[in-house]
Amino acid sequence: MNLVIDIGNTLTKLALFEGGRLIKLISQATVSEEEMVSIARQYHPEAAIISSVREGDGYVRILEQEVKVIKLTGDTAVPIRNNYQTPWTLGPDRLAAAVAAHHTYGGKNVLVITCGSCITYDLVNRRGSYEGGAISPGMSMRFQAMNTFTGRLPLVSYQEDVPIVGQTTTGSLQSGAVNGMASEIDGMIERYREEYPDLIVILSGGDMIYFAKRLKNNIFALPNIVLEGLNIILNFNENLR
């Protein structure tokens, strides 16, 4: 059994895998070191991996007392080629998603779009090479920016029915952010398909549910792609021992 930990900007996810099967998932704003130790002692995983876009060294030190731990960095061995020119700056969640994408659709060009604090676009080609991608502001970030950097615009949040024509200031902000993001994502998919005509597109991330039905392009929704990629990387490194 593997323990997989993904520390994001908004949520921390802990997952237990039996082989390639996700058997338990905990997702919350923060997880204390004591909670992680408690989970390790309860389930007795054979190995663990931590991916963090924030600080993760404290978790590594405490977990090392219970289980073998890998912290995913730019130096960690992965089962794809990493062509990113600055691998030490690459978010480990982006790399993990690319690994899972290639594992799932090997031999295909795959674009992973993750809708979270930011929208990230990550391309892994048919030869198993991660080529990079793009980053733009996510939905909450857009709402917050319009409130923070103006004198009178309110802070708004998502609602289910967002028309293209906003008839209030709140509606206009929601339309600009949500419909603008959907148009951006569709436009980016088309741009990638100009260079990769057989492209497979995967949509993931916490805000995925807001856009899966809004996009004109066909996509595959894989909400746990980062966790799956981390589990693959952990198994790959365990096999190298």
Nearest to 224 by CA among 9, 27, 1: 27
Cβ–Cβ under 8 Å, residues 16 and 222 = no
Last residue of a domain, one of 71, 95, 116: 71
Cβ–Cβ under 8 Å, residues 155 and 144 = yes
Nearest to 96 by CA among 61, 120, 69: 120
Instruction: State whether 238 and 155 are in the same domain.
Output: yes
Q: What pLDDT, in 10s, does the model give residues 98-141?
A: 999 999 998 999 999 999 899 999 999 999 999 999 999 999 99
Question: Which CATH number characterizes residue 168's domain?
Answer: 3.30.420.40
Cβ–Cβ under 8 Å, residues 70 and 95 = no
Cβ–Cβ under 8 Å, residues 179 and 199 = no
Tell me phi and psi for residue 47, to 5 degrees.
-155, 160
Domain that holds residue 194: 82-241
User: Does residue 146 fall inside a structural domain?
Assistant: yes
Last residue of a domain, one of 47, 71, 95: 71
**Number of structural domains found in the chain:** 2
Instruction: State whether 42 and 145 are in the same domain.
Output: no
User: Does residue 97 fall inside a structural domain?
Assistant: yes
Note the pTM of the prediction, 2 decimals.
Answer: 0.91
Instruction: State whether 55 and 11 are in the same domain.
Output: yes
β-bridge partners, 227: none
User: Does residue 77 fall inside a structural domain?
Assistant: no
Told to judge if 57 belongs to the known catalytic residues of this protein, a careful annotator would answer no
Nearest to 94 by CA among 75, 77, 72, 64: 72
| pLDDT computed for residue 57 by the predictor | 67
Q: Given the residues 6, 57, 93, 161, select the one marked as catalytic.
A: 93
Cβ–Cβ under 8 Å, residues 82 and 229 = no
Q: How far apart are CA 237 and CA 232, in angstroms?
A: 9
Instruction: State whether 171 and 118 are in the same domain.
Output: yes
Instruction: State whether 47 and 156 are in the same domain.
Output: no
Q: How far apart are CA 51 and CA 56, in angstroms?
A: 8
Q: Is the pLDDT of residue 56 over 70?
A: no
Q: Give mean pLDDT, residues 165-187.
A: 94
